[in-house]
Amino acid sequence: MPFVETATESITFRVNAKILDKLRNESKSHQISLSTLVNQIFTQHVSWHAFAVDAGFITILKCSLADMIKKITDNEIKQIALDSVKNNAKDIVLFLRQEYSVNTVLELIETWAKISGYHYKQTRQDNKISFVIQHDLGKKWSLYLSTIWGHIFENFAQQKIDFDITSNTIAFTIVLQKQTA
């Protein structure tokens, strides 16, 4: 569930002076208010960081991951992805979002892209949602992600999702089922 800005409240915290200086500098460099930065940090914490480790996510250097996947064949990449998605995807989505639906998967992909520091673009038009994610990890990473997401979306949407993959980017569009009244 995306966090939609609603009413706000004021609260006072005591923050280590060195940490506060770093936060002020970061907000200044991003040209946003300190309040906006702190709200972004809180949102990232409750939507990802608080549960990601418990869901099985780890931090790894991008260059290390890229080097590892270069040594694996395309068929091995697909098999690893399918094993992973069949054994873990639903549990991870339920753990992180308490709901398993195409919308929560799409929201989780967006959160993951943000947290990973990937450049991405998401567009919505009527019942179509398109993503373009630039990861810069090589074509095999695109293959891995497209295999996982393709399997998930085919199960939800009962349609084959076409992915456009390059060595830097993965793109896809999914057409959501219209809700009937």
Cα 96 from Cα 68, distance rounded (Å): 27
89, pLDDT greater than 70: yes
User: Is residue 135 exposed (0-12), middle (13-18) or buried (19+ Cβ within 10 Å)?
Assistant: buried
- Which pLDDT tens digit goes with each residue over 142-162? 999 999 999 998 887 677 788
CA–CA distances in Å: residue 79 to residues 72, 93, 126, 128 = 11, 20, 34, 29
138, pLDDT greater than 80: yes
Measured from the Cβ of residue 133, the count of other Cβ atoms closer than 10 Å reads 21
> How confident is the model at residue 1, as a pLDDT?
45
> How confident is the model at residue 4, as a pLDDT?
55
> How confident is the model at residue 162, as a pLDDT?
87
99, pLDDT greater than 80: yes
Helices (H), 30-73: 34-44, 50-55, 62-70
64, pLDDT greater than 80: yes
Cα 6 from Cα 144, distance rounded (Å): 37
Helix (H) or strand (E) holding 2: none
> How confident is the model at residue 139, as a pLDDT?
95
Closest by CA position to 94, among listed 45, 55, 146, 57:
55
pTM of the full predicted structure?
0.80
If pLDDT is split at 50, 70 and 90, which confidence band does 3 have? Answer: low
